[in-house]
């Protein structure tokens, strides 16, 4: 076994940085000669990226623990001393520290109107607390909220004289959903129709709402804040909202038949199922002036029985109006600064939520080196898809027809690197944020409500538009500003955001064994989701289709049984986590194979060592880089998370790779050198 690395002393750290400054080499690694680095051509990388990556690996690991006994402990034992979260989460934290620096800048002539508006929202939000006595500080907010209440017809509890009784329950709810996107009784959202293998259209999805966001006592406090001269409001609010929520819950608790849980179809047929809830009237009012609702517009109902009985909740109009006003305030109350404890965190969250595209532009322009990063990642993806192709080609248990379909799906896979292709399409972004500028006198709540309303109308308008194949907006999790990657298996598309392509997850100028072992394995993981136990059930377009030969399907299932048993022994639910475990294991294999292919294509020219790791090998460093991505202080199994704990992930994946035991010269019967390994391909 190779000699383990010793902890880097302060003197050695200073020496490395001194070498970094003194080196005159022209290569990006700022290489220096070191005869100890035999496996690396006697070269050591001393640039900033290599130094930072090496320092992380050294700080996190424990050289006294044998990697062949427990690689997770060897690589991560000291991680808990320095960090409470994973490297990916740490990358997110660093990213979120950069964003306020962009938003605090003064508006400049080079800013687009939507950049100026984003800065205004953040700065107004942060400025609420500044240099204003409490009375003055909050005086503008109630006016905004009272106007909001008037806009939805009033709050009978607060001002019974001004309440306007509505004629139509459906139109009343649609008006609130349309103007404020507040899920009173249920939510309404335009989503991609992937339930009927019809990916060229959007549909309206209706889902029962959760209970109110804020506890009843908070709502009572809000009511008293708006009307301090009415001491009975606390009891009245509690009674009203508990009554509606209890009735809602009674309906939900009484629904037992899961066979009738979903209902999807054209409006002309769906509406016949709900004689007491005029869904057509609701939709016509919801989309009035935005989009034409036709008889063949697709609707998906989640929880049929709930919507069959929803009219019972509207029997008492005054009660419903009181509840609706509370629901609107419950969602909007964060703008009352008396309820917002962590102002800075919330202001960033708010600005990100409202200005995904403008803020992503600002981040990419400031921090993302497209020319230095995207070509590297593109090459990585090309090699990894080639390796997956080879694995499929060599899988003796696959018949030719199934193999051909697997190739077809891989050939149709779409991968976005960094950001969506229309991120810098000024016409698109300008139309999305076609919002009048703000004035210094406009309070934060009023400004945000205006922006939310415009974005809501834009989201609803998709119901009548062609499928957007460029934006990331149809994939809820996908964002430029996160340290993660995503597979939208319903359209056979992968997103690799700029957020994950930054330190400490990704380093631009390090030997490739670092990035292939870390982010490379993450990207390969996402590619493999297309072939995991769920992803394999979809074809090259993302449609659900059985394209597996019966014998091939049985062979696949037999192979997955090995993973189920293996992870169950580690204390996690092997069935529940199966998809993630398949993606982890096969993804790591193709990332490793891709790295080896890359080196071979260069005539086996060696890359330099990281400082402090001169006596390691490139193969060992590949596994160490992967391990550092999953180091985590918390080893607790979350029964609701389909991912096993990070330490379990890195350990089991290494156990299943013969290449790991070869790299670290693990003896037979060592804990990390299993006699029987799990694999799919």
CB 251 within 8 A of CB 211: no
| Residue 597: predicted pLDDT | 97
What the block records as the tokens of 359 is: 């803020």
Co-location of 157 and 229 in the same domain: yes
Co-location of 314 and 375 in the same domain: no
433 located within any domain: no
163 located within any domain: yes
Q: What is the mean pLDDT of residues 317-326?
A: 89
Which of 304, 320, 354 is the endpoint of a domain?
354
Asked if residue 667 has pLDDT above 80, the reply is yes
638 located within any domain: yes
85 located within any domain: no
CATH classification of the domain holding 614? 3.40.390.10
Co-location of 257 and 301 in the same domain: yes
Cα dist from 507 to 59, 102, 216, 231, 368, whole Å: 17, 22, 49, 60, 12
Q: Find, among 98, 204, 223, 92, the residue nearest to 497 by Cα.
A: 92
400 located within any domain: yes
Q: Find, among 241, 257, 260, the residue nearest to 249 by Cα.
A: 241
- Structure confidence at residue 332 as a pLDDT band (50, 70, 90): confident
- Structure confidence at residue 145 as a pLDDT band (50, 70, 90): confident
Asked if residue 1 has pLDDT above 80, the reply is no
315 located within any domain: yes
Distance CA 530, CA 48 (A): 36
Co-location of 345 and 408 in the same domain: no
Rounded to 10°, the helix 113-127/356-367 angle is: 100
In the block, residue with structure tokens 């929880």: 303
Asked if residue 214 has pLDDT above 90, the reply is no
What is the CB neighbour count within 10 angstroms for residue 476? 11
| Domain count along the chain | 2
Co-location of 524 and 626 in the same domain: yes
- Provide the 8-state DSSP code for 204: E
Co-location of 169 and 55 in the same domain: no
Co-location of 338 and 414 in the same domain: no
In the block, residue with structure tokens 């989701």: 529
Asked if residue 6 has pLDDT above 60, the reply is no
What is the CB neighbour count within 10 angstroms for residue 378? 12
In the block, residue with structure tokens 């335009």: 190
91 located within any domain: no
Sign of CA dihedral 105, 106, 107, 110: negative
- Dihedral, CA atoms, 80, 81, 87, 93, nearest 10 degrees? 120
CB 34 within 8 A of CB 44: yes
Co-location of 402 and 257 in the same domain: no
447 located within any domain: no
Co-location of 13 and 135 in the same domain: no
Distance CA 2, CA 578 (A): 34
516 is in which domain, residue-wise?
1-76+370-421+480-681
Q: What is the mean pLDDT of residues 259-272?
A: 84
Co-location of 176 and 237 in the same domain: yes
Co-location of 397 and 528 in the same domain: yes
Q: Find, among 601, 555, 442, the residue nearest to 124 by Cα.
A: 442
Model pTM score: 0.89
Co-location of 405 and 339 in the same domain: no
| Residue 137: predicted pLDDT | 44
CATH classification of the domain holding 314? 1.10.1380.10
Q: What is the pLDDT of residues 65-102, one digit of tens each?
A: 999 999 999 999 999 888 888 999 999 999 999 999 99
Higher pLDDT, 6 or 341: 341
Q: HSE (CB half, 13 Å, CA atoms) of 636?
A: 6
């Amino acid at each position: 076994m190779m000699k383990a690395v010793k902890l880097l002393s302060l003197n050695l750290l200073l020496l490395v940085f001194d070498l970094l400054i003194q080196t005159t080499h022209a290569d990006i690694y700022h290489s220096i000669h070191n005869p100890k680095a035999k496996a690396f051509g006697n070269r050591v990388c001393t640039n900033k990226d290599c130094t930072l990556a090496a320092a992380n690996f050294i700080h996190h690991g424990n050289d006294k623990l044998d990697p062949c006994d427990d690689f997770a402990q060897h690589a991560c034992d000291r991680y808990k001393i320095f960090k409470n979260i994973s490297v990916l989460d740490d990358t997110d934290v660093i990213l979120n520290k950069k964003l306020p620096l962009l938003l605090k800048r003064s508006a400049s002539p080079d800013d687009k109107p939507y950049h100026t508006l984003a800065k205004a929202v953040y700065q107004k939000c942060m400025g609420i607390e500044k240099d204003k006595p409490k009375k003055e500080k909050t005086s503008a907010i109630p006016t905004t909220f009272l106007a909001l209440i008037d806009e939805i017809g009033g709050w009978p509890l607060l001002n019974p004289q001004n309440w306007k009784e509505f004629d139509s329950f459906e139109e009343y709810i649609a008006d609130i959903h349309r103007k404020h996107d507040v899920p009173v009784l249920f939510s309404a959202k335009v989503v991609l129709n992937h339930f009927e293998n019809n990916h060229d259209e959007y549909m309206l999805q209706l889902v029962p709402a959760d209970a109110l966001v804020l506890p009843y006592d908070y709502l009572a406090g809000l009511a008293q804040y708006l009307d301090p001269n009415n001491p009975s409001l606390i009891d009245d609010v509690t009674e009203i909202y508990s009554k509606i929520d209890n009735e809602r819950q009674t309906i939900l608790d009484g629904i037992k038949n899961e066979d009738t849980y979903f209902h999807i179809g054209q409006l002309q047929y769906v509406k016949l199922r709900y004689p007491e809830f005029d869904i057509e009237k609701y939709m016509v009012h919801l989309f009035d002036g935005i989009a034409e609702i036709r008889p063949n517009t697709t609707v998906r109902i989640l929880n049929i029985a709930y919507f069959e009985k929803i009219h019972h909740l509207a029997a008492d109009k005054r009660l419903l109006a009181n509840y609706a006003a509370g629901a609107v305030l419950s969602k909007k109350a964060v703008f009352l600064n008396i309820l917002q404890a962590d102002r800075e965190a919330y202001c960033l969250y708010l600005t990100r939520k409202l200005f995904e595209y403008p803020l992503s532009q600002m981040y990419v322009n400031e921090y993302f080196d497209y020319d230095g990063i995207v070509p590297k990642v593109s090459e990585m993806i090309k090699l990894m898809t080639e390796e997956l192709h080879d694995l499929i080609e060599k899988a003796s248990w696959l018949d030719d027809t199934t193999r051909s379909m697997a190739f077809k799906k891989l050939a149709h896979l779409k991968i976005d690197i960094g950001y969506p292709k229309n991120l810098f399409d000024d016409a698109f972004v300008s139309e999305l944020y076609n919002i009048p500028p703000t004035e210094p006198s406009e309070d934060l709540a009023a400004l945000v409500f205006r922006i939310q309303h415009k974005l809501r109308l834009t989201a609803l308008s998709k119901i009548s538009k062609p499928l957007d194949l460029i934006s990331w907006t149809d994939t809820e999790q996908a964002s430029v500003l996160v340290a993660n990657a995503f597979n939208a298996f319903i359209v056979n598309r992968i997103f690799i955001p700029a957020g994950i392509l930054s330190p400490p997850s990704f380093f631009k100028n390090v030997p490739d064994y670092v990035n292939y072992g870390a982010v490379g394995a993450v990207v390969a993981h996402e590619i493999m989701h297309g072939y995991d136990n769920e992803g394999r059930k979809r074809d090259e377009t993302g449609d659900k289709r059985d394209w597996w030969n019966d014998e091939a399907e049985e062979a696949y299932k037999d192979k997955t049984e090995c993973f189920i048993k293996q992870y169950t022994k580690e204390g996690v639910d092997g069935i529940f986590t199966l998809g993630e475990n398949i993606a982890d294991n096969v993804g790591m294999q193709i990332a490793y194979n891709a790295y080896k292919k890359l080196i071979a294509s260069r005539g086996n020219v060696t890359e330099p060592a990281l400082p402090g790791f001169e006596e390691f090998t490139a193969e060992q460093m590949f596994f160490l880089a992967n391990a550092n991505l999953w180091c985590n202080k918390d080893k607790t199994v979350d029964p609701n998370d389909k991912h096993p704990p990070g330490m379990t992930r890195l350990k089991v994946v290494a156990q299943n790779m013969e290449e790991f035991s070869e790299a670290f010269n693990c003896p037979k019967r060592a804990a990390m050198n299993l006699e029987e390994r799990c694999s799919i391909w």
